[in-house]
Structure 1
Amino acid sequence: MTFTYVVSGFAVGALVGLTGVGGGSLMTPLLALLFGIHPTVAVGTDLAFASVTKVAGTAAHRYHGNVHWHIVKLLCIGALPAAIAATFALKYFGSLQNEIGLFIRYSIACSVMLTVVAILFRKRMQNWLTKHPERHLHGRPLAAATILCGAILGALVTISSIGAGAIGATLLVLLYPRLSPAEIAGTDIAYAVPLTAIAAFGHWWLGSINWELLAMLLLGSVPGITLGSLAARAMPEKLLRLLLAATLTTVAAKLVL
C-alpha cells in the first residue's frame, strides 16, 4: 500500500504539472474513492500536503515579481477567519461522524464541479471582461468583493481542501482581468499558503491528518510535478483541460452516487 501511495502522489503531481490545476481537486477524491479513506482525513492530509508544496511555488513567483501582495492581504482578511470558523464548525459537529463525513463528501463533489466550470469557462469569462471594461470593479467595491471571495474560499478549502487552485484563480481573473496569467498564478498561490497552513493546523487539532500517508504522497509528488511541468510544453493545453474536466466530472458523480 505504501508504494501505491507514492505512485498516486507521483500521478497527481504529474497532472498538476501538466495542467496547473490544484492538487486538492485530484488528491482528495482519489484518497476518498480509491483508498477508502474517511473524507475528513482525506481533506486534512491533503491540506497539509498543499501547505508544504505551495511554499516552494510562492518563493518562485515572488522571485519573478508575480505576486500582488495587496490582493493577497485582502484575500487573507476574508479567508483566514473563515477557515478558523469552519474548523470550529467541524469540531462542534464532530460527534455526528457519519453525517459530517457525508457532508464533506458532497462538499468535495461540489468543489470538484466548480473546478470543472473554472477549467472550461475561465478563458471565455476573461475574454468577455476584456471586451466590457465598464463591468470591472474599482476601489472599495473591488476590495469588498475580494474579501468576500476570500471568505468563501477559506470555508470551502477548510471543508473540502479544494478551491485554492482553479477556483481561486478564476475568481482572481474575474476581479482583476488586467493581471497577467503569471500574476494570477503567483497571487493565487501566495494567499493559499497561509490559508492551507491554518486549515491544516485546524485539521491537526481535529486529529484528521495521516502523517505517514502525507510523507508517501510528498515523496511521489515532487518528481511528478517536475516531470509534468517539463512535459506540459509538448502537450496541447486544450486537450489536457478537456481530459481533466471529463475525469473530474466522473469523480464528482462517483462521490455523489
Structure 2
Amino acid sequence: MWLEIVLLGLIGFVAATFGSVVGLGGGIILVPGLVFLGPWLLGEAVSSQTAVATSLAVLIFTALSSTLAYSKVKRVDWRNGLIFFITSGPGSMVGAQLAQNFQDSSFQLAFGFFMLAMAVLMIVKERMKPLQIQWRRMQLFTDGTGVTHEYGVNIPLMLLIGFMVGLVSGLFGIGGGSLFVPLMVLLFRYPAHIATATSMFVIFLSSILGTTVHAWNGSVDWMLVLILAPSAWIGGKFGAAIANRMSGKGLLLLLRLTLLVLSLRMIISGFMAD
C-alpha cells in the first residue's frame, strides 16, 4: 500500500515539476499516468472522466504553488491574467461538463492526438518568431530583475483565447498552459518567462471552476487528490525554482520525448479499445 502511495506521489511530483517549468500545469502527464498506471497502482482501472477530474483538482495545488513562487520574483502579470480568466473560467466549466460524454476509447484517441499536437508545437515553437503585429495598445511590465518588457494587448482576442484554452482545460484536465504560453509569446510578444508565470496564475483560477463542475458530477477521486496534492505542491515550487534559475532545456527535451511516447501510447490504446 505504501509503495503505491509513494509511486503516485512521484507521478504527481514529476507532472507538477514539468508543468511548472513550461507553464503546462502538469495534467498532460498526470492524466495518461492515471489512465495507464491506475490498474497497477490502484488495482482497478481509472476512467477517463475520473482521470481528467482528479488531474484538474490537483492542478489547483500545482498552479497555486507555482504562482506564489513566480510572484516572489515579480513575473506574474496579474492584470492581464485576470482578463484571460474572464472567459477561461467559464470555458473550463463548459469543458468539464462536456468531458462527461467521453467514452474511454474515444477520450484516449482525442487526448493522444492532442498530446501529439502539443509535442510538435513544443518542438517547432523555438524556431517560430513572434508575429510582428502592430497592436494599438502596448503594455510595459517590469519583472523582478528590473528589466522592463513591452508587449501587445488586445482584449477581444485575449477573451477569445481565454475561452478556447479554458474549454480544452476542462475537457482534458490539463490546465491549458500548453496553449496559453505559445499564443501569448507568438501573438502578443510576451517574454517566455512572463507568459509561463501568468499562465500558471490563470490555470489556478480556471482549475477551481472546472473542478467545481467535475465535483458536482461526482467524477473527482478525492482520495487520489489527497495523495497527489502534497507532491504536486512541492513539484510546482521545484519547477518554478528551476525555471527561475535556468533555461530548463534538458527538461524540455525530456518532456517532448515523454509527450511523444505517451501520445502514441494513448492513440494505440484508443484504436485497440475500438
> How big is each residue's C-alpha offset from its partner over 1:12-50, in whole Å with a ceiling of 9 and x where there is no partner?
344446666431111111111222411110110111100
Q: Could you tell me whether the CA contact under 8 Å between 1:112 and 1:162 is conserved in 2?
A: no
The equivalent position to 2:87 in structure 1, one of 72, 75, 78, is 78
Asked if residue 41 in structure 1 is aligned to residue 44 in structure 2, the reply is: no
Q: Give aligned-pair identity as a percent.
A: 22
- Alignment partner, residue 173 of structure 2: 161
In structure 1, the residue matched to 2:64 is: 55
Structure-2 separation of matches of 1:5 and 1:78: 33
* Alignment-derived partner of residue 67 in structure 1: 76
200, 203, 217: which one pairs with 1:206?
Answer: 217
1:183 and 2:194 aligned: yes
**2:230 alignment partner in structure 1:** 219
Q: Distance in 2 between matches of 1:109 and 1:234?
A: 32
CA distance in structure 1 between the partners assigned to 2:247 and 2:90 by the alignment: 40
Give the C-alpha shift of residue 246 in structure 1. Answer: 1.7
Partner of 2:266: 255
Q: Please give the residue correspondences for 1:81-160 in structure 2 after superposition, counting only pairs within 5 Å.
A: 81-90=90-99, 93=101, 99-125=102-128, 127-129=129-131, 133=132, 135-139=133-137, 142-160=154-172
In structure 2, relative to structure 1, the CA distance for the partners of 1:143 and 1:234 (3 Å cut) is closer
1:43 and 1:53 map into 2 onto residues whose CA distance is 15
In structure 2, do the counterparts of structure 1 residues 53 and 136 end up closer, same or farther at CA, with 3 Å as the change threshold?
same
Cross-structure match for 2:148: none
Structure 1: runs of 5 or more not aligned: 94-98
Between stretches 232-241 and 15-24, larger displacement belongs to 232-241
CA distance in 2, matches of 1:29, 1:58: 24
Deviation readout 1:82-126 (Å, 9 max, x if unpaired): 2232334345x4xxxxx533333233223322321332122322x
Q: Deviation at 1:231?
A: 6.6
**Which residues of structure 2 form unaligned runs of 5+?**
39-44, 138-151, 269-274
Give the secondary structure class of the aligned counterpart of 1:209: coil
1:9 is aligned to 2:12? yes
Question: Letter of the aligned partner of 1:213 in structure 2?
Answer: L
Alpha-carbon shift at residue 199 of structure 1 (Å): 0.5
RMSD (Å) for aligned C-alpha atoms: 2.9
Q: 1 or 2 for the larger relative contact order (CA 8 Å, sep ≥6)? A: 1
Q: Following superposition of structure 1 onto structure 2, how do residues 239-254 of structure 1 map, counting pairs within 5 Å?
A: 239-254=250-265
Query: Which has more helix, going by share of residues?
Result: 1
3-state DSSP of counterpart to 2:74? coil
- Cα distance, 1:215 vs. partner? 1.5
Matches of 1:231 and 1:79, distance apart in 2: 27
- State the 1:185 CA deviation: 1.8
Q: Which amino acid aligns with 2:30?
A: M
SS at match of 1:34: helix
Equivalent pairs counted in the alignment come to 245
Quickly say closer, same or farther: Cα 1:229–1:156, change in 2 above 3 A: closer
Summarize deviations over 1:155-183 as a string: whole Å, max 9, x none. 10001012522321111112221x33332
Cross-structure match for 2:41: none
Are 1:168 and 1:188, in contact at CA under 8 Å, matched by a contact in 2?
Answer: yes
1:228 Cα deviation after fit: 5.7
What TM-score do the two structures reach when normalised by structure 1?
0.81
Q: Which has the higher strand share?
A: 2
* 1:26 matched residue in structure 2: 29
- TM-score normalized with structure 2 length: 0.77
